[in-house]
Structure 1
Amino acid sequence: MKRLTVSVLSLSLTACFLTQPEPVKRNTLGELDLATELPQTTVTEAAPTPEQLAAAYQEIVALAPKASARQQANSRLAQLSLEQQQLAQEQGVTQDSGYFDNTVNQYLALLANSEALDGRDEVLYQLAKAYFLKGDQQAAFDVTSELIRDYPDFAHNEELIFRQGEYMFNQKQYEQAKNRYLTLVESYPDSPLVSTSRYMLAWSDFKLFNYQASLNSFTQVLSLALEQDGKTVINIEQLNNSDRYLVADTLRIMSVIFSYSDFEQDPVSHYQQYGWQAFSFMNFDSLANYYIEQKRYLDAAKTYQSFITTSPEPNHKVDFALAQMSVFKKANFKSLLTDYEQQFIREFGVGSTYLATEPTDAHYLALKTLEKKYADRSYYQGQQLAKQNESAITAFSAAAIGYQRYLDTLQLKQQGDIDSHYLLAESLYQSQQWQKALVEYQTIAYSAEPNKYQSDAGFAVVSIYKTQLANKQRSQRDDARQHEFVVEVVDNWLKFATSFNTHKSASTVVLQAFNLLFERQMYGVLLTKFAHVERFSLSESEIYQAQLLAAHSHYNLQDYASAESAYKQLLAKSSEQASLVRENLAQSMIKQAEAVAATNPQFAADKYIALLTLLPSTLYREQVQYNLTQYLISLQLFSQASKWVDDFITRYPTSKNIESLQTQKIAIYKNTQQGDKLAAQYAYLATSHSDENTRRISLYQSAEHYRNMGDIENARLQFRTYAHSYPAPFAQNLQAKVELANIYQKQNKASERRFWLNKIIAAYKVAPETELTWAKTEAARATEVFANDAFYVYQKSKLTVPLKTSLARKRKHMAVALERYQQLADYALGQYSTQANFKIAQIYHLMAQDIMSSERPKQLKDLALEQYELLLEEQAIPFEDQAIELYARNNQLLHSGLYDEWIKKTLTALAKLMPARFAKKEVEPGENHAIY
């Protein structure tokens, strides 16, 4: 470093400095050219005192034979005198103006003999110094001017130029002083006086009101003064006293310049033009302090801020920011202080480049204090605005940011604050930043280091997940992500319950977790969690609820066997939900049965029987018992089925399944050979079944089964109802009529029988083509009865007197019988045709016989009687002839291969009527090829 020496004597109120030059190298006694003139002396080890030296040189002056030696001795005596006077002055010894006259006179004496003087330039130099010490500045200035003029290459000219500048400055000849300083700086750039010269040059420009030039020079002074080992010293306390004073004074006067209202330059514009220096901050700090002294607090704050805003280097900005806050505090600018504190947090807090390394203690203390202050303030505002939702959220958001910054700040020093950490989580929660709040609460709750907020934080985690769950349920459409999130929620809830099992809500949270899984149909996950239910502190009723959900989960996973087992365990416990458990147990057993019913109906039946035995009053009994009957019937276990069917019908008379069961009882009664019940069941279905066709079939079946059982009366009633109710299908209707005719025949109810015989005859007339042959046969059979009835009436009708009357009556009966048999003949059916033909011939034959054997009038005499007989014969012969002809026609059928009972009777009748022709042994026909 170029060291600057400041002479105290040259200091003035205007802070003008005069440097103390380094001592000029002088000749010592040993260096004098006295080898031939001076006697040899013995040199002692002790150094001579100045007084001893002066006496020695006085002796030399007196004894030296050569003028040159005497001149050197006189020069040395003058120099010793000057040094003694200078030393006395530095030691503060009081001296009058004549004190330096001897020295001055000595130098003047030397100069008087200029021809013999060797080293005139040095003598002039010493003379100028003597004048300076004497205080004769003008004389000193004149000598230095002569020296500079006569000896431009003199070794100490830069010092002389400096002293001239100093003299001119003191004489307020600032322009001339500036020129002398400028000459020194330009001509002797390596001189140790350059720095002081620049300083004085700056002062000269200042005195000349050249402020910009002055600032530039002062800046150069700072640059030189603060340079040490190639680096700039930024702490002036590391400087020596003189340099420290120089720097301080330079900064001070620069502050004065910057503060001038009519000078538009400030530190920012100055260094933007000059170029920013490592020491630039000193100017800002000095100017700010200058303003503070003058109580110009806003100007001081602006000065600090201008450096912070414009300086290209980050160094010292934090300190200036702290100083700026100090100014606001000192001036009691509360509003400005508040704004700047928050600005400080933003610009110099966490996240800024000013915290790339560990902060200073002052920086750290200010940051953590302010971060905490404003975080607490925002939190308090949020609490006060709780009813104003949006505003409260904004306040809590600010609080969250503040607490996070505060905690991050503490972390810079590896410190923490659990209270503020919890308030951070609370702020995030209140500002609805759920995910961030969740992270903080989890950190607090499950910290390895115990803290007073752990359980509360754990429960807050539970609450946040509830909120997030509701939000995601409304917005999230990704089922896979929903599933993952629910698992995350449940894991955290159960973690809370196990970590804080004494918390009043721990068991509630466990049940909520299980319920959530159940609601989301995540049954497998629920069962996995339930497997470790013993980890949770649950009451008996709470365990019951969890078991119930687990049982439900087995059920919904279609693991009905496990569900049955779980429900049976629950059923063993007394609970208000016992009825629900019973029904769920029933459902589990039902589902097991249904699952294998198609392939293993026996298992299904056994499961249903077990269910009805275990839970006889289940709400599902009706369906279960019905299904049981179906399985038993399908397994052909009719005896078992009969018991369960009868019980079902008794229990549930209004069931929709009654009809099907009543129908299935038919199969049961058939297979258990309960004929009486079978017939009665058919009769029941005939009147109760909803399907008309089923009713029809059942009615007919009941009639048949009654008939087969020998219950003729019930059979008659059923056939009669059927015949009246179901004209179609034709065949069954006709058969019912036939059955009725037969029943009435057995019951000897002739009129009822003939009623149905007439129905049979009438049915033939409308018979379909497919049933025509059978209907004709049945009609012929019925017609035969009516024909025989007519024949019987005809046969019973006797001819009595008066013959005319009885004959007319008989002829009437004859006509009816003939008509009936003709109807029978018209069917053209084998035996019925031959019978009809025979009966018709027989009718005529009987008429002839009856006429001949009719009652004779009693009053007739023999002649009259004879005539009457002839008359009767005349009446009878036509009938007999007609009879023979009709018998003969019937007999003709024999030749067509038809031979039956009536052909046989025909031949017998012909044999009696015409014995000559027909009274011979009959020949039985061989094979009968007639069609019936």
Structure 2
Amino acid sequence: MTRHFSPASILRGCVLATVIAQPALCVAQESFRVELGRDGETLGDMRPVFLKFESRPLPAISPMEVARRYQKLFESSDEPEVRIDALNRLNNIRDRSGKDVGFSEQREAAFYKEALESYESILAKGSFSGRLDELLYQMAKAHALTGQPDQSIARLKQLIGLYPGSDLVPEARFRVAEAAFSAGRYQEAESGYRRLLTDERHPVLAAKARYMLGWSQFKQGDGAWLRAAATFMDVLDRELPGTRQSGTPPASALEMLEDTLRVLAVMASRQGNADSLADWLANRSGSAWPHLLYDRLADLHAAEKRFERAVSVNDAFVARYPDHPARPDFLAQSVTYWQLAGASGKARAAREHYVQQLSAEAEYQSLSPEQKARWHKYSRFLADHYYAAGSELSSQRELVAAREAWAAAATYYERLAPRSRETGALLHLAADAQLLSGHRSGALVNFQASAYQHRHEKSGDSAWAAVRILRDDLDLVAGDDRHRQLERVSDQEQRYTNAFGPDARLSQLRADLANRWYEEGESDKALLYAARTLDWEDAGVSERYAAWLVTARVRQQAQDHALAEQAWRQALELAEQLGPASGSQKEHIREQIATSVYHQGDDAVEAGQVRIAVAHYQRVEHVLPGSEIAINARYDAANALLKAADWLAAINELNRFRDDYPKHELTPATSEKLVLAYRESGQGGKAAAELLRRAEQEAVPWPTRLRAAAIYHDEGDTESRNQLYRGWLAAASPPEAPGEHLQQQKVRQRLIESGGADDTLRHQLLARERASQWHSEETLLWAAEAALYFGARASRRFMDIPLIAPLERSLTRKQAAMREAQDYLEEAESFAGKLFRSEVLFRRAELYRVLARDLMASDVPEGLNELEAMQYKMLLEEEAFPLEEQAMALHSQNHERIPNAGFDEWIQRSMTALATLHPGRYQREFRWMSWATKSNPGET
């Protein structure tokens, strides 16, 4: 820390924004300033900001001329006392006036450098007309200004020791403590600052000493931070309005207070965070500044991007001070922090917390206008968010979550509505959200309030929505409740008419009520509402058409198809008036006319009169050509022929139907019916061809193609079957179920058995069985056969490899072929168990026998003499002997299987090989005899 003296004047506004409502003007003379440096990057580098030391105010005078004369006196005099006195007066004039008197800091430093000799001269003489304590003080200042800090401190200590009662001693003590602080002797500085705390004559200096005392304690490390925290909080208690003082702090203290709050926040952040603040504040219930301290700690975390800790500080304040006026601001500050962190979900949760905490009427009314505006903003944001979230979730078919989101939106809209100027519009939104969430009763209440109690530009829509809810609820009730609900709808229709006048929607409602009463079986009431629809002058043709339909349906319910036709014709006459737009209605009515004929066909089918039924179905097409009902009738005619097992006629009718209506939704079903008819009529090839034709139109064609392949298989058309099999295997994905695995392996095996496959299919079959988790006896057998096939082929390749010079190279190739054959043979046995064991044992034994034989038959390397050649042959025999032994052991295992497995070709081959390997034991004639499976008692 560096220190220098710099006379200057200040005029500052003393405002601490979060504490003080009105600024105070503080004008004072500054004697000199101690610059304590700036903050470092770490706690160890931190320095307090500069402090300005002020003396009492002086009256305003004009010092320019007097100052000029004193400067001239200083420059011209040779008397030390005169020069010193002139210099003191210059300082006083400048400092007290606070004006530029031509005595700049650079010039002052030069004067003091010259004055040092005068000071020393006066001290040497031992006599001075003035006060020696002031002389020592001025000498300390001169040393400081001329870059001699040690001499300056020595003079100050001399002043303290010689004149302890001097008014200059407190300031001297302060500067000595400052020097210790700058030198890093923080305990010494602490002691020095502490001696100034009780000096009631210098309250400003005591306040600054208290501040620096806290820094001295802070600099001693976290072991002293508890003392530092207490000291700094004492500074805040004394300087900020509260229990110990009222009013506003001076402007000179603002920077010190901000720095005090900041260092307390730093200490708390490095220790227990908000818990540390709670401990420190435990006995300071009357302090007015804790919210500032929590705020600085939260801001410190936020500045360092520790947003979660920043929010935890806000939460701690809200929990500790639930009644504090700043609580809403802390809640809102958490929203800001989460936004800075990019955590939109947590920011939304913080908004919810804000709104919920302040929703009670007493809480809300205690808010400031700005806080209320924020409450409104957050509430509308959350309401709109949950409404949009519900729509998004609904589009994703997450219906439960969507309803929960809409319910939340409704709550926020409903809570906001009475506190907003847009009550009606917000109630409409609340009702809409409630309706979407399934809370229909609440939606009805809000729609009615929005329509009739808080009128707005969409009140008519609100009223109609209330009608719709009541009308839609008709589907949720039955019996007497349905009757009462219909009455409620009727009443609501009348209320809507009275409030908003005639409306096109009323015609639709009345026609709908006519249909509803008809559905209730209340024919008279249905006709009444139909009549109201027809009698109302604003009723349109479509509403009158609907009213006539009610009458037509009544006739139709009697199932008298001839009379029903007449009723529908009257409805058709109104449909004609609707013009081109009524095409679908007219078509519907014509369909109803044709329905009577269609039902006659149904009745004939039930009576077993197939030919008559077909005639009725075909007649429908003449009544309504090209209509859906006519097409259905044609289709049903074909079905009737199928039911009668008239296969050829059914085939003809189905093909005609498909040719006439190639794009109809029923047409795809004709394919399966044709397959049935073709197969039942003995035309399997056409059935398969029909399946292949259908497969070309399917997004996933192979299941259908495999059905065709199965038919070709049954028909004995192997070539067509194999062509489909090969295509399917090329396109098939790895199986995901046991059935798929079996199917694919079966197809490969059939291709292999038919001779239409190369070794690639065997490799695929074997690889799939190895990798599969699903096995069956069939698939294991097929895999064993493939492995045996590859084992036999590898054995042949092994036997074809000659052992020639250089022996090492050819032997390596032969051994590799042997290992490959062994692997396949062992794999075949692992798949098939004992089924192929005889063959596997024989082939494995032959591998060893042939290797031994070829070793013995291999050529002797060139260049060996007779003895070396003999030795080489002996070595070969030593290598070949164990191989022969292994071959004999394996062949013997085959021989030993005879009692349990019986005799087969491969055991016979093993016996033949054993006769060659061990002629003394095996080269003789055998006569196989049967024996009993059960031994007699006592036999061994």
TM-score (norm 1): 0.45
Calculate the TM-score normalised by the size of structure 2.
0.44
